[in-house]
Amino acid sequence: MMLFNAVMSLLYAYIANDYMVMQSPFLFSIIYTWSKLVPDVQISIWGFPVQSCNLPWVLMAFHLFTGGNPLNDLIGVAAGHTYIYLKTILPYSHGYDLIKTPSFMQTMVQKLNSMGEDPRRALRGNARMMNLNNRDGVADP
């Protein structure tokens, strides 16, 4: 997701002729993606309660009220919405799955999740290579 959002932020910024430093649009695209994937969280910005589904628009309004240019925020919204559309909406509406998570990332996340459950079970494969499963301390032949 992060690599896709970074590339799309650069692409949309290039189209908008605003391709300076892409930190703000990239962060805004991550915020937009999170707000669409988790829309029910109640958060507080400067003491104002905000639903997470409205967070990008509230941040954009604060940025506009403080004299900022909302173009970078809109570039981030476009990049984040492109990810949301290609990852969640398009596969269910038309059956196209254009963005797939690589298999090595899926296995890495599964290993990390299993480490949180029982660290001894998750490290069992690596522990054999280091002879940590051998209780008497003698190396295996």
pLDDT at 56 over 50: yes
Q: What percent of the chain has pLDDT over 70?
A: 79
Least confident among 95-104, 113-122, 124-133: 124-133
The upper half-sphere exposure of residue 119, i.e. CA atoms within 13 Å in the direction of its Cβ, equals 0
pLDDT for position 87: 84
Helix (H) or strand (E) holding 51, with range, is strand 48-51
Domains of the chain, residue spans:
2-93, 101-141
Token output for 23: 């930190």
* Percent of the chain whose pLDDT exceeds 90: 7
Mean pLDDT (whole number) for 50-73: 88
**pLDDT of 128 strictly over 50:** no
pLDDT surpassing 50 at residue 66: yes
**Residue 1: pLDDT above 80?**
no
77: exposed, middle or buried (C-beta count within 10 Å: 0-12, 13-18, 19+)? buried
pTM: 0.67
CA dist 82 and 13 (Å) reads: 14
Top-confidence residue, 123 or 21: 21
What is the model's pLDDT at position 90? 83
